[in-house]
């Protein structure tokens, strides 16, 4: 696994974006913890994320390029107040109205978890102009990753690159089930 700093990413920006477009599995910082992801349109890469995480049947969330993307692809009638809080540490569970907006193996349901973190890495997702998978960089049921020392060896060997900015002090994002009007702290 290659570890890049923010500066390394800046210097190799186009190369890294191409790798993400092509389906590379990578770890990246967010406004909360470290995530593991891939191109959310790449079915094969998503299956690999599911295997790495040990989550074959659970829906995955996505980091979207913009609020406009959310409004175009999701039913946001009940979500206007939450959309005004973005970017931020929230995962909004919304009905997906455009089934082609992500690969079919992302959601496994009619809803999708969308994130738009308040973090400098959002520029990467904006420039990609498509969503990436965003899930914590750990196996299901294990502690979430906040530093390089916490990276599980079985995950590290499956990841091609990591953008690392040091230890994180956050917790996973709050899950907001819009239709159920339910907020879940994790």
Predicted confidence (pLDDT) per residue in 91-144, tens digit: 999 999 999 999 999 998 899 999 999 999 999 999 999 999 999 999 988 999
Phi, psi (deg, nearest 5) at residue 138: -155, 160
For the chain, give the percent of residues with pLDDT over 70: 99
pLDDT classification of 3: cutoffs 50, 70, 90:
very high
pTM of the entire structure? Answer: 0.94
pLDDT the model gives residue 92: 97
- Average per-residue pLDDT in the chain? 94
Residues 6+ apart with CB under 8 A from 19: 26, 160, 161
Domains and CATH numbers, the chain: 2-184 (3.90.870.10)
pLDDT classification of 57: cutoffs 50, 70, 90:
confident
Q: Name which of 11, 27, 18 is nearest 155 in CA terms.
A: 27
pLDDT exceeds 90 at position 56: no
pLDDT the model gives residue 52: 95
pLDDT the model gives residue 186: 66
pLDDT the model gives residue 181: 74
């Amino acid at each position: 696994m290659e570890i890049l700093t923010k500066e390394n990413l800046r210097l190799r920006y186009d190369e890294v974006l191409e790798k993400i477009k092509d389906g590379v599995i990578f770890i990246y910082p967010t406004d909360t913890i470290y995530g593991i992801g891939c191109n959310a349109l790449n079915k094969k890469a998503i299956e690999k994320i599911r295997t790495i995480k040990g989550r074959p049947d659970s829906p995955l969330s996505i980091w979207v390029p913009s609020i406009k993307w959310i409004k175009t692809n999701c039913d946001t009638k009940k979500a206007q107040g939450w959309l005004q809080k973005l970017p931020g540490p929230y995962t909004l569970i919304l009905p997906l109205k455009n089934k082609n907006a992500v690969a079919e193996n992302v959601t496994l349901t009619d809803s999708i978890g969308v994130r738009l973190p308040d973090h400098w890495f959002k520029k990467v997702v904006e420039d990609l102009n498509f969503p990436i998978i965003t899930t914590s960089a750990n196996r299901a049921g294990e502690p979430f990753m906040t530093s390089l020392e916490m990276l599980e060896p079985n995950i590290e060997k499956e990841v091609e690159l990591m953008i690392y900015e040091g230890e994180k002090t956050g917790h996973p994002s709050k899950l907001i089930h819009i239709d159920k009007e339910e907020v879940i702290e994790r």
